[in-house]
Amino acid sequence: MDGASLAEAYLRDRSPVAIVLGTNEIASAIGVHLHRARYRVILSHDAALPVIRRSMAFHDALWGDPASVDGVAAEPVERVWEIFSVLAGGERLAITRMGLVDLMVIAPFALLVDARLNKYAAKADLRHFASVTIGIGPGFAVARNCHVAIETHPERAGAVLERGETAAPDRVARKLGTKGGERFVYSGLSGRWRTPHAIGTRIFRDMVVGYLDRNPVVAPLDGVLRGLVRDGVEVPEGVKLLEIDPRNRWQACWTGMDERGRAIAAGTVRAAAHHLATADQDR
In a domain, 252, yes or no: no
What digits encode the pLDDT tens for the residues 35-70?
999 999 999 999 888 999 999 999 999 999 999 999
Q: Which pTM does this prediction carry?
A: 0.92
Same domain, 150 and 218: no
Same domain, 10 and 137: yes
Q: Is the pLDDT of residue 283 over 70?
A: no
Same domain, 32 and 160: yes
Same domain, 143 and 221: no
Give residue 133's pLDDT. Answer: 97
| Domain tally, the chain | 2
Q: How confident is the model at residue 176 (pLDDT cuts 50, 70, 90)?
A: confident
Give residue 56's pLDDT. Answer: 97
CATH number at residue 150: 3.40.50
Give residue 106's pLDDT. Answer: 82
Same domain, 72 and 196: no
In a domain, 268, yes or no: yes
Same domain, 188 and 61: no
Distance CA 223, CA 79 (A): 41
CATH number at residue 235: 2.40.50.100
Average pLDDT, the chain: 91
Give residue 2's pLDDT. Answer: 52
Same domain, 122 and 236: no
Range of the domain at 269: 3-169+259-282
Same domain, 159 and 185: no
What digits encode the pLDDT tens for the residues 122-131?
899 999 999 9
List, as one string, the DSSP characters of 97-148: S--HHHHGGGPPPSEEEE----TTSPPP--TTSSSEEEEESTT-BBTTTBSE
Give residue 12's pLDDT. Answer: 58
Same domain, 36 and 88: yes
